[in-house]
């Protein structure tokens, strides 16, 4: 077997990461095409399975019958998937279908415009001119997509990406872009087509918090907002800014995660916002138990002093018995036992 169409010529290259294998080994041309096919199947398993399934159905039922059967199966699968999505979102079958179609268009626009946006923002490799690839693109719902950005591998610092979020949003066509530094040369990038925190978040849509924490909402980048149960927390803000909303969200997440809480409630407003907790004060049982509830300043002072005294007793007992608090889930641990 001779000739340039049968054997690829060997160029004057040495082994290295930048040298294609076809330029090093004189292999037949059809070997090279087989290798490309295997690589495509490895990178696109879903498409490969779809093509193989289509050829099998055509062989079993003919081209016309197989096409009709595939259309019916695809329609049933899409209907079932939309119905499952609508049950989780509560938006109805048609509303969910419209939302999924908008999400599909936004994902397609993101993939199409991302290379152009990187070039417009000058976020390309100084050596090759390639743009950083978006990895693990996921939809978070409500017009938000997140992805991993391994920009350090091509010589683009994460800080440069954070400085160009306005240009990226303009070219991609979304409302805003948020970049979170995750490690050396690695960032998490979020694309928002709508305001992620400008809506009411149903409890069923609130992401789960890590172990030992309670969730109360989502952050600007679409990730879960949570607090550590083992740390003290102070919530402050102007009237109507949502202080009580954060508290109720924390209590709701405690119920959702089966986390028991014992509350001492001071309500100087006289039950305007926390009156429901006062109605169940002193009742035992359940995940959330209101130990004491006070409205008047004198009663609040007594409650704080009583709680402070009980805390001192526990600290004294812990010191006498050589016990310390290790974390929020293991309250009594002998020193040196862990």
Residues 188 and 211 in one domain: no
Q: How many domains does the chain have?
A: 2
What is the β-pairing status of strands 288-294 and 261-266? parallel
Q: Out of 162, 192, 222, pick the residue that ends a domain.
A: 192
- The gap from C-alpha 311 to its chain's centroid, in whole angstroms, comes to 38
Q: Is residue 299 part of a domain?
A: yes
| C-alpha pair distances (Å), 175 with each of 59, 168, 191 | 48, 10, 8
Residues 224 and 265 in one domain: yes
What's the pLDDT at 22? Answer: 56
Residues 118 and 221 in one domain: no
Residues 231 and 147 in one domain: no
How many Cα neighbours within 13 Å face the side chain of 69? 14
Model confidence at 197, pLDDT cuts 50, 70, 90, reads low
Q: Is residue 64 part of a domain?
A: no
Both tokens assigned to 214: 């309670």
Question: Model pTM?
Answer: 0.51
Nearest to 250 by CA among 269, 266, 267, 231: 231
Q: Out of 192, 213, 235, pick the residue that ends a domain.
A: 192
pLDDT, mean of residues 39-67? 82
Can you name the residues that pair with 141 across neighbouring β-strands?
144
Q: Out of 192, 217, 236, pick the residue that ends a domain.
A: 192
Residues 209 and 317 in one domain: yes
Q: pLDDT for 237-249, tens place per residue?
A: 777 777 788 888 8
What's the pLDDT at 216? Answer: 82
Model confidence at 20, pLDDT cuts 50, 70, 90, reads low
Q: Is residue 283 part of a domain?
A: yes
pLDDT, mean of residues 135-140? 84
Domain holding 285, by residue range, is 203-334
Q: Is residue 268 part of a domain?
A: yes
Q: Is residue 161 part of a domain?
A: yes
Distance between CA atoms of residues 40 and 48, nearest Å: 8
Residues 176 and 287 in one domain: no
Residues 207 and 330 in one domain: yes
Residues 254 and 138 in one domain: no
What's the pLDDT at 93? Answer: 67
Model confidence at 222, pLDDT cuts 50, 70, 90, reads low
Residue listed under structure tokens 């954060």: 246
Cβ-based neighbour number of residue 154 at 10 Å: 18
Q: Is residue 291 part of a domain?
A: yes
| Three-state helix/strand/coil letters over the chain | CCCCCCECCCCCCCCCCCCCHHHCCCCEHHHHHHHHHHHHHHHCHHHHHHHHHHHHHHHHHHHHHHHHHHHHHHHHHHHHHHHHHHHHHCCCHHHHHHHHHHHHHHHHHHHHHHHHHHHHCCCCCCCCCCCCCEEEEEEEECCEEEEEECHHHHCCCHHHHHHCHHHHHHHHCCCEEEEEEEECCEEEEEEECCCCCCCCCCHHHCCCCCCCEEEEEECCCCCEEEEECCCCCCCCCCCCCCHHHHHHHHHHHHHHCCCCEEEEEECCCCCCCCHHHHHCCCCCCCCEEEEEEECCHHHHHHHHHHHHHHHHHHHHHHHHCCEECCCCCCCCEECCCC
332 pLDDT above the threshold of 60:
no
- Least confident span in 95-104, 140-149, 158-167, 298-307: 95-104
275 pLDDT above the threshold of 80:
no
Residues 174 and 292 in one domain: no
Whichever domain contains 246, its CATH number is 3.40.50.300
Q: Is residue 83 part of a domain?
A: no
Q: What is the CA radius of gyration of the chain?
A: 30
Residues 283 and 226 in one domain: yes
Q: Is residue 22 part of a domain?
A: no
């Amino acid at each position: 077997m001779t000739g340039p169409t049968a054997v690829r010529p060997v160029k004057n290259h040495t082994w290295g990461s930048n040298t294609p294998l076809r330029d090093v080994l004189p292999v037949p041309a059809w070997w090279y095409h087989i290798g490309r096919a295997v690589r495509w199947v490895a990178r696109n398993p879903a498409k490969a399975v779809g093509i193989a399934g289509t050829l099998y159905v055509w062989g079993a039922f003919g081209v016309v019958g197989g096409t009709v059967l595939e259309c019916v199966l695809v329609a049933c699968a899409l209907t079932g998937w939309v119905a499952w999505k609508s049950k989780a979102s509560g938006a109805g079958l048609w509303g969910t279908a419209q939302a999924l179609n908008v999400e599909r268009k936004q994902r397609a626009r993101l993939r199409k415009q991302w290379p152009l946006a990187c070039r417009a923002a000058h976020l390309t490799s100084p050596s090759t001119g390639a743009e950083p690839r978006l990895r693990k693109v996921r939809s978070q719902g409500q017009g938000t997509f997140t992805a991993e950005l391994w920009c350090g591998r091509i010589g683009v610092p994460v800080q440069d990406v954070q400085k160009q979020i306005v240009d990226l949003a303009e070219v991609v066509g979304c409302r805003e872009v948020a970049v979170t530094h995750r490690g050396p040369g690695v960032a998490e990038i979020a694309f928002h087509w709508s305001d992620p925190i400008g809506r009411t978040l149903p409890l069923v849509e609130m992401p789960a918090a890590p172990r030992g924490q309670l969730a109360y909402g989502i952050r600007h980048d679409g990730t879960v907002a949570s607090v550590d149960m083992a740390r003290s927390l102070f919530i402050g803000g102007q009237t109507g800014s949502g202080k009580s909303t954060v508290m109720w969200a924390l209590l709701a997440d405690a119920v959702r995660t089966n986390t028991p809480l014992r509350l001492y409630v001071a309500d100087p407003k006289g039950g305007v916002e926390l009156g429901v907790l006062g109605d169940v004060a002193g009742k035992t049982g359940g995940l959330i138990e209101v130990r004491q509830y006070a409205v008047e300043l004198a009663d609040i002072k007594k409650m704080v002093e009583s709680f402070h005294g009980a805390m001192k007793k526990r600290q004294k007992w812990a010191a006498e018995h050589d016990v310390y608090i290790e974390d929020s889930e293991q309250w009594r641990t002998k020193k040196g036992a862990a």
